């Protein structure tokens, strides 16, 4: 099972130098994949959690591909209705070529109603627009893996129809297990939290990746047993001030990496 990292490409502490250091740290610790989030118009509903500066993911990943990193590069998740399907397909194909086949597209329908309005995209049509974009992607960029985000019945149907893997975001392990038993899916590549605590977390709704090192390692083992080909670790917890202190996240990632290297 491979491990990836969702890197903050936003917030007051993020700049090109920090993004470059995130890539060096992620690769140096032995992780396999670096992923970035997607927003285009940083409207108030977005800015509360993901404020400016916000580096657009295709632009930032193309830049990172040219910095010497050999990591796989991806999006978690690209909001498909925000871009014309043909433009999206061209951007994805070009980035995959420029990175020598290392692109992974995690995709979703989006949630920020104000951002949809700012872009002139009808919020209520986002499901249909997502399906249209996926149809074009599958026809024109067949070599790029597509991971479909979301946990709704529509998202699971979309995964079966278009996806290479289901890409749920920040759920408890038991919730993912229950959804995986509902229907056969083409693959499983969850994104989970990463927040290490000194004492065990006993909340029955504990998110995967939250708790002591032992709890998080057990979560990873359970996800592996559930068939996860890749697990993406997300060390960002919603406070933009965190982006000023990435070393906290790097220490947590180093603990996971150290155990990974020591496990046969």
**48-57 tens-digit pLDDT:** 999 999 999 9
Is 166 within 8 Å of 185 (Cβ atoms)? yes
* Residue pLDDT, tens place only, 167-205: 999 999 999 999 999 889 999 999 999 999 999 999 999
Q: What is the mean pLDDT of residues 83-111?
A: 97
Query: CB under 8 Å to 250, separation ≥6 — which residues?
Result: 25
Neighbour-count burial of 201, counting CB atoms closer than 10 A to its CB (0-12 exposed, 13-18 middle, 19+ buried): middle
Q: What is the mean pLDDT of residues 73-88?
A: 98
Q: What is the mean pLDDT of residues 108-114?
A: 98
pLDDT for the residue 261 = 75
* Residue pLDDT, tens place only, 212-229: 999 999 999 999 999 999
Whole-angstrom distance, CA of residue 140 vs CA of residue 150: 24
Q: Residue 248: which of 194, 204, 210 has the closest Cα?
A: 194
Is 122 within 8 Å of 139 (Cβ atoms)? no
Residue 165 banded pLDDT, cuts 50, 70, 90? very high
pLDDT for the residue 263 = 67
pTM for this predicted structure: 0.97
Residues in the chain, total? 264
Q: Is the dihedral of CA 241, 246, 247, 251 positive or negative?
A: positive
pLDDT for the residue 103 = 98
Domains contained in the chain, CATH given: 2-262 (3.20.20.30)
The dihedral region occupied by 120, where left means phi > 0, alpha psi between -120 and 50, and beta the remainder, is left
Looking at the chain, the whole-number percentage of residues with pLDDT higher than 70 is 99
Q: 230-234 and 2-6 as β-strands: parallel, antiparallel, unpaired? A: parallel
């Amino acid at each position: 099972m491979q491990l990836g990292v969702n890197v903050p490409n936003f917030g007051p502490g993020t700049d090109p130098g920090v993004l470059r250091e995130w890539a060096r740290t992620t690769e140096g610790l032995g992780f396999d994949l670096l992923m970035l989030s997607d927003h285009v118009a940083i409207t108030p509903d977005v800015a509360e959690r993901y404020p400016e500066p916000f580096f657009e993911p295709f632009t930032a990943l193309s830049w990172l591909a040219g910095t010497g990193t050999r990591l796989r590069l991806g999006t978690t998740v690209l909001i498909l209705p925000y871009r014309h399907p043909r433009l999206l397909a061209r951007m994805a194909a070009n980035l995959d070529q420029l990175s020598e086949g290392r692109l992974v597209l995690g995709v979703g329908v989006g949630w920020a109603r104000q951002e949809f309005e700012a872009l002139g995209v009808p919020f209520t049509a986002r499901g249909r627009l997502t399906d249209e974009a996926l149809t074009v992607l599958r026809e024109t960029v067949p070599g790029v893996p597509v991971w479909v985000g979301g946990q709704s019945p529509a998202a699971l149907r979309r995964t079966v129809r278009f996806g290479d893997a289901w890409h749920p975001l920040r759920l408890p392990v038991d919730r993912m297990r229950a959804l995986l038993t509902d229907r056969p899916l083409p693959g499983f590549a969850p994104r989970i939290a990463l927040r290490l605590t000194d004492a065990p977390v006993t909340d029955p709704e504990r998110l995967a990746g939250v708790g002591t090192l032992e709890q998080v390692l057990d979560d990873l083992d359970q996800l592996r047993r559930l068939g996860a080909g890749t697990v993406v670790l997300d060390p960002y917890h919603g406070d933009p001030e965190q982006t000023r202190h990435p070393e906290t996240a790097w220490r947590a990632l180093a603990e996971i990496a150290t155990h990974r290297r020591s496990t046969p």
